[in-house]
Amino acid sequence: MAGLARYTAVLRLFSQARSELTVPDMAERLGVPQSTVYRTVRDLVGENFLEMASEARYRLGSVFIEFDRQLRLTDPLLTAGSQVLQVVVAQAGVPCVGLLCRLYNDTVMCIADATAPGATFRSSYERGRPMPLTMGATSKVILAQLPARRFARIVEHWPDASSAAFRTELLAVRRSGVCVSSGEIDADVVGVAAPILSKAPGLLASLSLVLPQGIADAAMVERIAAATMAGARRIEEALAASPDH
């Protein structure tokens, strides 16, 4: 490993299951000498990307909290979409969870969510958690908008996504501007999502509402789909009006 990859490889070792690691732990997982890891850790501690958790153990540092604040204040999608997300959820009139998500490498990542009164469930889409591109309305409505070349590259790693039936489904999503899925990510819920398109390079996102399967009859889904698409258009308009675009 060299350059930036050496540092990111160490940082990506940390997870909810492994929130604290020693230098020998890191060296073993990376398959590199402890001396190399020690120098990397020393640099990361010096810039607050890592901090001492206890004797000889390290955890992620507080600089990520600083960066998260900066993103919340300056992320164009978040500043354009967070208020719309709250309004769409409030006006839905049903117990639901609203999600604002974006394309992140070859995954989809939630950047904001909102929960309506009476919603007793949680979505697996959480801020900062990468989710698969090929499952769930929130993700598939983004996948359906990808350029053909990038789509082809991605589906090479997802055997189920190369089927004719899946491609036909995505084509229908692209044409209709909405995607509906049931139980693909979380059991007993229905997801309804619309794409958010922007001229900004690499900014491809979705607005979605997740609601209990028991209340998601055809009329309800149609109403929620219309509200979701309208919300997505308002976010697009806010993005277009942003001075940064």
Which segment of 166-175, 225-234, 235-244 scores lowest on mean pLDDT? Answer: 235-244
For range 217-230, the mean pLDDT? 96
Domain that holds residue 38: 4-62
- Domains of the chain: total: 2
pLDDT in tens, 23-32: 999 999 999 9
- CATH number of the structural domain spanning residue 22: 1.10.10.10
Q: Is residue 175 part of a domain?
A: yes
Query: What is the pTM assigned to this prediction?
Result: 0.89
For range 188-199, the mean pLDDT? 94
Residues forming beta bridges with residue 24, ordered by sequence position: none
For range 175-201, the mean pLDDT? 92
Pair (57, 79) in one structural domain: no
H/E run at residue 100: strand 97-104
With a pLDDT cut of 70, the percent of the chain lying above it is: 96
**pLDDT tier for residue 164 given thresholds of 50, 70 and 90:** confident
> Closest Cα partner for 190 from 223, 222, 163, 214?
214
Q: Do the beta carbons of residue 107 and residue 91 sit within 8 Å?
A: no
Which of 16, 36, 62 marks a domain boundary? 62
